[in-house]
Structure 1
């Protein structure tokens, strides 16, 4: 008990007198001119490598504190715990209520102490790994309310333990000025996230409509980037995670890797890398898959490991996207210039912010929100590029369709010409076939089938027109003897010669000669009476008689007997006409051959 009492006594002595010993931190006089300015150069810090020091231990080691030489003390990624000390004095400022804002939402755990004359007035512990409800004020950043009337002083201590980059950008505000600053920020954030959300929703709907994978990758990239910015701005902890801080650490590397994977896949499909840059296409393909695997791993792996891997991934991806954009632009890829411009604006916005932070650029609206402005302009440009790409693809499709239609029309015309030619050839072949079908294969004149059809047709014509129709039956005399004496080849030659002589004797278009059978021929003479038929028969007989058929240098004399029959009255049949002509032919044969005989006039069928 005595040892515990002694320990408490030492702590109280240190709390009461530690500040009087003079810590190396510069005392900050509260003035309205300092409102909104970084307080880093008024801080002193102490490294606690083991993380075991308590407030009393820290106060006891006041000589170990070192003054900060930076506007924003930044110790990057470290395993050490850092203590910060700031002494505030209000000599004559009328304002008694003040607010201190730590403008870095990614700090895991921050323990805060406010001391007056060595006594702890207030303390709190908050951070992104602790429930949001534990914060001294509901704000996306850590904001500490202070009561410091004129003539008083406060000693402030912060114990910072984080796996993220350890930095403490402290800014002093009055409640009114912080409210104005928050109002401007809310407007800027609303505009920024509104633009990104509109781009995300629009392109998601376009993807659902067109099923173009580029839009899905764009949505993945923008969605991941929105979550990244919400984590960086502290809005994710305020509105999404609330009192579920276990997701806070995983969200940052997860959203970064998801966004980078989406950017890689977007570049592949948007710039058609398989066609234009096959090597870079394979690289981005593997990068996207590695980033996707790491995104899943980040949900379980230590934050310090994953955030370093993610940082390396982001650096590699930024360089890769810039190189791809430059090469594709140089090779004339239409949409590459939009891609390169968008990426250059984004990288420019990212570069401006640290230049503002280290003081090389003034802190104005454009530099303060350069990352948001750059990323919003990038999202707009990429969305415009997607729309332009859609227009180009539609124009290409229309051109391809027009070319395809023209080629199709040409092919149709060619096929039509080929079809017309084929039909013409088919018609000619069909006509030729029809000719062959009605021709006698030996003599070349019409055959018996054609004769029968024409006889029936001409009888109907004669009946309607009441004009005469004559028929000649012609038989070669002694044809069997010719075959027996000279052979069948000689007989065939005689048949061809006689057929030719008969055909040459016909002058009118309607007159037809046909081989009737064996050595017999038939001649149809429309609109020809008995006298005309007799004269033609005599001409044919004389032409046959004058034939000089020769077989193996031996003359073959030829004569023909001809029977003539005439239809003078309507209603006559082909059988009666043929029978009459055949009877006249028989009579010519019977009376010595080589002559023309006229059949007796046909009597009406009713009188027969």
Structure 2
């Protein structure tokens, strides 16, 4: 055989193998037992474009071997403007001995249509959902601002998750995909809820404060600022999915219309406020008219949304918004170059907002990694922007006050008394704002479900107590408690019943541990921490045993537990060697290991561990 005749069949075989891979790319199933926390699922899914929108789930499963799936390779799934429907699939396996559940979150709340199926190893559909922000909110299997799908995985089996994404008008939003355990999802949701509560609470406080200030002094720039801030509040509340969840859950069409309309209104209110703030009608009337014209174009571009044309809306609004932002930035640079202090403050505030928006969209596009800063860059940037603009307004008010004092010498005393009254009102509003912030800070220290201290407070308070006990040479007793078979309890009785059990356990803890030095924490899920005001291991063990028995005596039914009722396992640590246990994290690890030993020893028991200083 010649070298050429040998190469031809070899090349043909390689080509056929490559073609087969293109038609049906092999991708190993994800072992969920190896990923107990949060997994970015974007790079692991396979994609299929349905240009004619002709496939349904039955056709897809029947023709699966011949369909041209290809691996995503994207951190964030992004189809941008497309007239096709898109299919995604991924396989999840459970190699453990018990059933587990994972939650799939599509992190963008603005998908029009989302259909999902869970397919077993025999090719049968075992779960199916039809949801999206063009369907009523109660179509979602989990009541959350984004789309969250619960996926049960029996032991030793593999499940195939198939998603179909479609749009009303050919516009897709970039979407991160996260696979999480219940605990990871709860922690993520709590972090998000805390961050957004602080953010929207701060915006409301600024709106109320400046509205009251406007009513007091009648400075028109303050009213423009309040309207601008209010429009931005509604825009962010809608874009983040909260408006659909809490304001109009049964009006999906209205929800989709509100987003482009509020963007157009935001452009108009931003232009009006900027003209008023920078006195552009006096300094540059032509530029004022140009800003209003571009803002009007943005608003007019949003009107087709009332007729259901959304792709057209953003094709018009995006270039108009870029032109408006560029012109506004140029005006701010020009006025700053001329030494206008208000323009300098405005320039810094506007740049901070643009940086925040840019970081967020670069993260959505997959250029920057997902982290706390890129996810909440818009909130951070806009929050700083509004604070800086409020500072600029205060500066502007001060300038106007000084001009009036200089121009109206005959009424100097009247103006001085008015200024003093204004300062008192500002101080009062500031105290109210500080009190509101203190209340928000107190909410951030506690667990919203049980009212116990949260994990953040655990680290702070236990570190302080370790230092205090070390200085006084006293032992420290700390216990970790975990409710037995709680995940199985949730699967059997439902998560609402599980939450009620957590509240009952927290109430029982509060009733048993009432000493001044006792501290109770919810560390996450069904896990609690107990910092005891006790001087000996025996005293601490007796207190824990009394609580353990009291919990068992409540006789809360749990058919999945060996005792038939809700019980808990405890790991109690008595520590005097503060060299080996220097901080709260190490103390937690020791108690957690003791608790898991209690789990292994048939549960519903207290396992103690002493860490004594060698003499």
TM range (shorter): 0.5 to 0.7
| 1:106 and 2:110 correspond | yes
Cα gap change, 1:114/1:254 in structure 2, threshold over 3 Å: closer, same or farther? same
- Retained in 2: the 8 A contact 1:45–1:68? yes
How far is the alpha carbon of 1:286 from its aligned partner? 2.0
C-alpha deviations, 1:492-536, integer Å up to 9, x for none?
xxxxxxxxxxxxxxxxxxxxxxxxxxxxxxxxxxxxxxxxxxxxx
CA distance in 1, matches of 2:287, 2:59: 56
How far is the alpha carbon of 1:195 from its aligned partner? 1.1
| 1:156 and 2:161 correspond | yes
C-alpha deviations, 1:391-450, integer Å up to 9, x for none?
111111111112898xxxxxxxxxxxxxxxxxxxxxxxxxxxxxxxxxxxxxxxxxxxxx
- Retained in 2: the 8 A contact 1:356–1:362? yes
Cα gap change, 1:329/1:230 in structure 2, threshold over 3 Å: closer, same or farther? same
Paired position in structure 2 for 1:250: 257
Q: Which runs of 5+ in 2 are unaligned?
A: 1-22, 413-615
Paired position in structure 1 for 2:72: 68
Paired position in structure 1 for 2:352: 345
How far is the alpha carbon of 1:275 from its aligned partner? 2.2
**Residues matched between the structures, number:** 386
C-alpha deviations, 1:17-63, integer Å up to 9, x for none?
xxxx9654442221454632311111111111221211122231443
TM-score relative to the length of structure 2: 0.59
Paired position in structure 1 for 2:485: none
Cα gap change, 1:258/1:136 in structure 2, threshold over 3 Å: closer, same or farther? same
Q: Which runs of 5+ in 1 are unaligned?
A: 1-20, 406-608
CA distance in 2, matches of 1:22, 1:206: 65
How far is the alpha carbon of 1:129 from its aligned partner? 0.5
Paired position in structure 1 for 2:91: 87
| 1:47 and 2:49 correspond | yes
CA distance in 2, matches of 1:202, 1:298: 34
CA distance in 2, matches of 1:103, 1:193: 19
How far is the alpha carbon of 1:304 from its aligned partner? 1.6
Cα gap change, 1:298/1:25 in structure 2, threshold over 3 Å: closer, same or farther? same
Moved more, 29-38 or 187-196: 29-38
- Retained in 2: the 8 A contact 1:265–1:288? no
Paired position in structure 1 for 2:418: none
CA distance in 1, matches of 2:98, 2:319: 50
From 387, 392, 397, give the equivalent of 1:385: 392
- Retained in 1: the 8 A contact 2:48–2:87? yes
TM-score relative to the length of structure 1: 0.60
How far is the alpha carbon of 1:198 from its aligned partner? 1.4
Paired position in structure 2 for 1:373: 380
CA distance in 2, matches of 1:215, 1:298: 31
How far is the alpha carbon of 1:385 from its aligned partner? 1.1
Q: Match of 2:90, SS? A: strand
CA distance in 1, matches of 2:234, 2:408: 42
Paired position in structure 1 for 2:37: 35
C-alpha deviations, 1:349-386, integer Å up to 9, x for none?
11222344456545432222111100111111111211
RMSD of aligned alpha carbons: 2.3
| 1:286 and 2:293 correspond | yes
| 1:234 and 2:241 correspond | yes
Cα gap change, 1:32/1:323 in structure 2, threshold over 3 Å: closer, same or farther? farther
CA distance in 1, matches of 2:410, 2:319: 48
From 68, 79, 100, give the equivalent of 1:96: 100
